[in-house]
Amino acid sequence: MSTAVAKNLMVDMKLLGMFAAFDQAMTSATRDQTSYTEFLDTLLQAESDYRQERKTDYRIKAARFTLRPAFEDIDFTASRSISKAQIKELYSLQWLNEGRPVLLIGQTGVGKTFLAQATGLHACACGKSVLYMNITTWLENVALARSSGTYLRYRDKLAKPDVLILDDFGMRKLSSIEAQDLCEILEERSVAKSTVFTTQLPLDHWSEVIADPVIADAIRDRLEHAALTIHITGESYRGVKARKLASKKRDG
């Protein structure tokens, strides 16, 4: 079989990773006089890598991130309380394997959203499904689902991802019905799933934004005994970034 026919068959069979690697693999095999088995191994590995990359890209797209941060981009020169040990704990995803929720608590600008989405992206790369949204979007979606009679379907949708990220909890007060909705979602996700919250409010202040005190206690009880909680204090990341840009302009 000629190389042209072989490459056409790869395309027809949608072996696109193998197709992309074929010419270089053939050149290397000819130069190094590698065996047929080694040549085949190279092509199969290229196809496997390509498919894994496609799956990761799909998971990232489905997650609906607003940023694409990475743990490697975290600036430890900024004066903030979060430690490398805490970053390592998030990166390990052990909390996800244990089905624990995560609370990232701190004032505006300390990097909560950045850290939550970096964690989500890393989870996607590790083969986990993720869904990101801010609390306002979640409330709007819940209201729409209730008005259209699709609330149960929407709740089931939120129960499916391995990681659900709810950003900026506390930016809006929750009515009794909305608080009950949140409680139900946490219940649905209580086994082998993790929910990540970013918020400015310590857990003992959540009752300030949850109208029903009984439901507030139930939500707090679900989180305080199991959650991986990271309090972030210090200067605003945006302020650090602004100073660095100003410094570069002066140096330039």
Domain spans of the chain?
A: 3-61, 71-239
CA distance 220 to 75: 31
- Average pLDDT over the chain, rounded to an integer: 89
DSSP letter, residue 91: H
Q: Which CATH superfamily is domain 71-239 in?
A: P-loop containing nucleotide triphosphate hydrolases (3.40.50.300)
Query: CA separation (Å) from 32 to 26, 36, 64, 214?
Result: 10, 12, 45, 71
Full-model pTM: 0.83
Q: What is the pLDDT of residue 3?
A: 84
Cα-to-chain-centroid distance, residue 30: 43
Would you say residue 236 has pLDDT above 80?
A: no
- The stretch 143-157 carries a mean pLDDT of 95
Q: How confident is the model at residue 245 (pLDDT cuts 50, 70, 90)?
A: low
Q: How confident is the model at residue 250 (pLDDT cuts 50, 70, 90)?
A: low
Q: What is the pLDDT of residue 237?
A: 63
183: its two tokens: 């409680």
Q: What is the pLDDT of residue 15?
A: 86
> What proportion of the chain, given as a percentage, has pLDDT over 70?
94
pLDDT tens figures, 94-131? 999 999 999 999 999 888 999 999 999 999 999 999 99
C-alpha torsion angle, residues 97, 98, 99, 102 (rounded to 10): -100
